[in-house]
Amino acid sequence: GFSDVRFQFEPIGAAFAYERTLKHKEKVLVADLGGGTTDFTFLSLDPERAGAKERHTDIIATGGIYIGGDNFDSSFMWEKGTPYFGKHTLYEAAPGKMLNVPVSLFANICSWEQMNFFNGQKIKNDLDNYYHYSKKDRKFKNLITLTENNLGYSVFQAIERSKLELSNNPNTDFLYSKMGIEIDEQVSRMEYDQIIQKDLNKISKYLDEFLLKNNILTTDIDSLFLTGGTSMVSAVNNLFNDKFPEKPIHSGDNFISVAKGLAYSGYLFEDN
C-alpha cells in the first residue's frame, strides 16, 4: 500500500499546472468547474517558485459550491427530457376526476444516480396504476421503460452529448432512441443558457460572496484561469467575462490540469 499520502485541493492543483505556463508573478483567481462542484482559489503564482515544496503562504483563499455540470444536466432533463416521460400526464383519480401525475416522480429522474428511488415494489405498483388510469399514456409508458431497464445513465449520456455540441454550435438536437423511447428535440444555445440560468446565478452569487468574505478586490486580481469540463460551456465563459471584463481569462487542459498539477506536487515531495 501507500506509505505517504498527501492531499491537495483540486483548484490548487490546477493552479500549479497553470503556473508553469506563466512568464512572471501573478495573483490568479482559479475556477475549477467540474461535474458536482465549482471550486475557487485565489493565490499568488510565480514560475520561479514552481519548484518550491511549501506553498502555503502563496494560497490566499479557497472555497467552493456544490453546483456543477451535473446540475446543468438535471435542469436540462427537467425542461427537455421529462415531457417525453409523461410529466404532463393526466390520470383518472376518481370517476370523472382527472389529476396530474405527481411531479415528484419526474424530479427523481433528473439525476440518474437517484433513479434507485424506483426500485421498490410500492413505487412500481404506483407507476402501473398511474399508467392504467392514464388510459395507457404512451409517454408515461416511457417512464416505466426507463426505470425498469435502468436506462437513466444512457439518457444522461445523450444530454451530455447535446451539452458538448452546444459549446461549439448555436443549435443541436437532443436525440435518444432505445427500447421504444424516442426523443428528438431541437435545442438552441440561447435556450440552453436560459435552462441553466438558475445554476449560473448560484455560482455567480457564491463568487461574489467568496471575494467579499476574503476581502479580494477586482484590482487585486491579475488574471483568471478556468478549468474543468464545465468551463467549456459558453454561458459559463460569459459569466466570468461579464464579471471581469478588464481581466485576461485563460483556460486549458480542461480535463487534466488538476491531475497535472497534482503530479507536479507529488514529484516535488519525493525524497529522491
Q: What is the CATH number of the domain that holds 33?
A: 3.30.420.40
Q: Using the CB atoms, write b or e for 198-208: b if 16+ within 10 Å.
A: ebbeebeebbe
Distance (Å, whole) CA 259 – CA 265: 10
pLDDT of residue 7: 73
3 state DSSP class of 20: coil
74 assigned to some structural domain: no
Residues ≥6 apart with Cβ < 8 Å to 57? none
Higher pLDDT, 257 or 199: 199
Distance between CA atoms of 155 and 115, rounded to whole angstroms?
12
Q: Give me the chain's average pLDDT, please.
A: 90
In a domain, 133, yes or no: no
Mean pLDDT within 186-207:
98
Each residue's pLDDT tens digit, 51-103:
766 778 889 999 999 999 999 999 999 999 999 999 999 999 999 999 999 99
Task: Please report whether residue 147 resides in a domain.
Answer: no
CA torsion angle 229 231 234 238 (round to 10):
170
Nearest to 29 by CA among 258, 225, 260: 225
Q: Cα(267)–Cα(272) distance, rounded to whole angstroms?
A: 9
79, three cell numbers: 425542461
Q: How many domains does the chain have?
A: 1
Residue 271 has pLDDT above 70, yes or no: no
Within a domain: 108 = no
Give the pLDDT mean for 20-32.
Answer: 92
Residue 126 lies in a domain: no
- To the nearest whole percent, how much of the chain has pLDDT over 90? 73
Question: In this structure, what C-alpha cell is assigned to residue 180?
Answer: 421504444
Q: Which domain holds residue 260?
A: 10-67+199-268
> Does residue 107 fall inside a structural domain?
no
Q: Are strands 90-94 and 181-188 parallel, antiparallel or unpaired?
A: unpaired
Residue 174 lies inside a defined structural domain of this protein? no
Instruction: Name residues whose C-beta falls within 8 Å of residue 151's C-beta, 6 or more positions apart in sequence.
Output: 145, 178, 179, 181
Report how far apart, in Å, the C-alpha atoms of 270 and of each of 45, 50, 131, 266 are. 22, 15, 62, 7
Q: Which residue has the cell 436506462?
A: 151
Residue 142 lies in a domain: no
Q: Does 130 have pLDDT greater than 90?
A: yes
Distance CA 37, CA 67 (A): 5
Collect all residues with Cβ–Cβ distance below 8 Å to 226 and sequence separation of at least 6. Answer: 30, 31, 33, 236, 237, 240, 249, 250, 251
| Most confident of the ranges 55-64, 213-222, 243-252, 255-264 | 213-222
pLDDT of residue 207: 98
What one-character DSSP code corresponds to residue 47?
Answer: G
Greater confidence (16 vs 230) lies with 230
Determine which of 16-30, 191-205, 256-270 has the lowest per-residue pLDDT on average.
256-270
Write out pLDDT tens, residues 136-193. 999 999 999 999 999 999 999 999 999 999 989 999 999 999 999 999 999 999 999 9
